[in-house]
Amino acid sequence: MNILGIDWGEHDSAASLLQDGRLIAAVEEERLSRIKHAPFAFPSRAARYCLQAGGITPDDVDIVAYSFSPWVGLGRGFWHAIRHFPRANFIALAELARRVWYLAPPAYARYELKLPARTRTIFVPHHLAHAASAFYPSPFDEAAVLVVDAMGEWPVTSLYRGVGNRLEPLGAVSFPHSLGFYYSAFTEYLGFDPFDGEYKVMGLAAYGEPSYYERLCEILRLPDGAQHRLDLRYFNFHHDYGRTTWYSPYMEQVFGPASTSPEMPAQSYVDLAASVQLRLEDALFHLVGHLKQRTQLRNLCMAGGVALNSVANGKIVQQGAFDQVFFQPAASDSGSAVGAALYAHHAVLGEKGREPLQHVYLGPEYHSQEIEAQLRHSRIEYQVLADPAATAADLLAQGQIVGWFQGRLEFGPRALGNRSILADPRRADMKERINAAVKFREPFRPFAPSVPAERSDAYFQPVGGSPYMLRVTPVQPGVADILPAVTHINGTARLHTVTRESNPLYYDLLVRFDERTGVPVVLNTSFNVRGEPIVCSPKDALGCFYNSGLDALVLDRFLVRKSGTSPGNQPPVAAVPHR
């Protein structure tokens, strides 16, 4: 049974392939189109890759599962327009257009992908797809499930109990009282792009004091039960879907003009960011606590765009309401492509035998012959490496910034050692160097540490493992002085734990770096520059390398360096330079 999962939405379009219940491939359309977030794009490139990875043709596809149901909540949009007449009339038109838009994929997919007429179409409600993406790949037989995002068809927060292959709804909060839109509106007010800059607000918050917290408690209220309510005077998204701004003029009356200096906003904006983040954490604790009380289960699964807030995630784990927590690695809309396929397999077809997620290396892979052909075609000088991990460790120990390109592309927003930029975390100037000369991004943005899982507790406070870089945790006492480039200003780090089983080559690099420096930790950030998706192909990697301040590039078993780069101690190679 071949099930193709599709998310075709306003952003983060993606495709996945499930074969007899096993996740074979998943990739975001942006990685292949090179257009960040691939807004409104049907994931045709992603779907074709998934078919190729599964060794099948369109004729072999049995089901296409979509992560949106055009009929769910349709009447709610019109009722909302009536309640907020006349300002929300656009919402009714937009909702109608959105439903027509989501009715188009089956016909378009048959045309674009040349699917046979017998291929079955299944529409999975958006939050149900998110819930499935978190529960079915989790290691839990039973779990509470929390979905929090900007908006599905109409729900903005949903709660479920997962048992076996069933997902039982426990409650929901509906638009417009959205935690996702709450955070996005303040993201825009603080000078960043909504639906893109939320992680910047999260990083900026650590530099401030939550001096606006009491006001935020009035804006985001938490009544009893699994509920949250917004004071809608501060927002505009529920009137025009962001045609003007997500926040309202009233917000500027209360807090002053919106920030126009996103590179490093004034302290008042920084303090507001801290307050916004803290109140979001309150809301998530509130929901998690209700789920625990309602279900009395030991395990929690989370998905939806808000589940990418790694600061809140780390605190949920440390709070200990649940013994174990599984965060879907691709928690935003791209992950719902996986969830739709899994829901079709387990809930619609009734198939059992769930397979826990082992890794997210599910995207395209390029073999040595292809990479060398690209290097020769581009007339780029390179060296063939006897031991790529050892060479990279040598370069990092010398203080060089290295692009690292290996194996299959990661699915989700985090680079996990296959499409990464790496550096020495012991160097205090490294964060500034990478932000300024490589990533071209705001100076307050932190970087993550990668560490062997069994060595993690010596440097970072335990969070039960963090293989997908979705948990922030305090560093251990004294570690900030050892690892200044990956310790955020508040003494925390967004942890990435690595096992030999999940990524042998990257694990070896960490071991080799430890042998050279006595520290088994490297700075790891995504292989891209500001405004671009993470690189996918060798061509993408070379373009990023030559258009940034990277010192060296390890492409599979090949080393590329820029002319004029100081070689330091020549790394071991197996052959002389080629052209």
**pLDDT tens-digit profile of 155-196?**
999 999 999 999 999 999 999 999 999 999 999 999 999 999
Query: Domain locations in the chain?
Result: 1-67+70-123+333-357, 174-327, 368-561
160 Rama class: left (phi>0) / alpha (psi -120 to 50) / beta: beta
Instruction: List, for residues 182-231, the tens digit of each pLDDT value.
Output: 999 999 999 999 999 999 999 999 999 999 999 999 999 999 999 999 99
pLDDT category of residue 74 using cuts at 50, 70 and 90: low
- Of 127, 116, 107, 112, the C-alpha closest to 58 is 116
E-strand spans in 136-246? 142-148, 155-163, 166-174, 220-221, 229-230
Non-local (6+) Cβ contacts of 564 within 8 A are none
Backbone angles phi and psi of 79, in degrees to 5: -65, -40
Instruction: List, for residues 515-543, the tens digit of each pLDDT value.
Output: 999 999 999 999 999 999 999 999 999 99
pLDDT of 568 strictly over 50: no
Which token pair is 403?
Answer: 């692009």
- Of 167, 159, 116, 109, the C-alpha closest to 140 is 167
| Mode of pairing for the β-strands spanning 2-7 and 552-555 | unpaired
Backbone angles phi and psi of 336, in degrees to 5: -70, -20
Residue written as token pair 């000369």: 437
Instruction: List, for residues 468-494, the tens digit of each pLDDT value.
Output: 999 999 999 999 999 999 999 999 999
| Mode of pairing for the β-strands spanning 166-174 and 22-28 | unpaired
What homologous superfamily is domain 174-327 in, according to CATH? ATPase, nucleotide binding domain (3.30.420.40)
Provide the pLDDT for residue 9: 78
Percentage of the chain exceeding pLDDT 90: 84
Provide the pLDDT for residue 44: 96
Given the candidates 3.10.180.10, 2.40.160.20, 3.40.50.300, 3.30.420.40, the CATH classification of the domain at 1-67+70-123+333-357 is 3.30.420.40
Q: Which residue has the higher pLDDT, 90 or 548?
A: 548
pLDDT of 567 strictly over 90: no
When pLDDT is averaged across residues 72-89 and rounded to a whole number, the result is: 63
**Residue 51 contacts residue 433 (beta carbons within 8 Å):** no
Query: Any idea what the Cα angle at residue 220 is, between residues 216 and 221, rounded to 5°?
Result: 115
Which token pair is 454?
Answer: 């069994």
**Residue 329 contacts residue 470 (beta carbons within 8 Å):** yes
Amino acid identity of residue 502, one-letter, is S
Which token pair is 223?
Answer: 């009544």
Provide the pLDDT for residue 569: 38
Q: Is residue 26 classed as helix, strand or coil in its secondary structure?
A: strand
Instruction: List, for residues 235-247, the tens digit of each pLDDT value.
Output: 998 877 767 899 9
Instruction: List, for residues 501-513, the tens digit of each pLDDT value.
Output: 999 999 999 999 9
Which token pair is 261?
Answer: 């200096």
Mean pLDDT score of the chain: 93
**Residue 518 contacts residue 236 (beta carbons within 8 Å):** no
Q: Same CATH topology for 1-67+70-123+333-357 and 368-561? A: no
Query: Any idea what the Cα angle at residue 199 is, between residues 194 and 203, rounded to 5°?
Result: 130
CA 554/CA 538 separation, integer angstroms: 10
Instruction: List, for residues 368-421, the tens digit of each pLDDT value.
Output: 999 999 999 999 999 999 999 999 999 999 999 999 999 999 999 999 999 999
Cβ–Cβ contacts within 10 Å for residue 575, how many? 10
Amino acid identity of residue 26, one-letter, is A
From the DSSP assignment, how many helices (H) and strands (E) are in the chain? Answer: 20, 21
E-strand spans in 389-526? 402-405, 419-423, 448-452, 471-474, 492-498, 522-526
**Residue 431 contacts residue 519 (beta carbons within 8 Å):** no
- Kindly list the catalytic residues: 11
CA 160/CA 471 separation, integer angstroms: 22
pLDDT category of residue 77 using cuts at 50, 70 and 90: low
Q: Which CATH architecture has domain 368-561?
A: Alpha-Beta Complex (3.90)
CA 38/CA 498 separation, integer angstroms: 30
Q: How many CA atoms, within 13 angstroms, populate the side-chain half-sphere of residue 69?
A: 16
Non-local (6+) Cβ contacts of 83 within 8 A are none
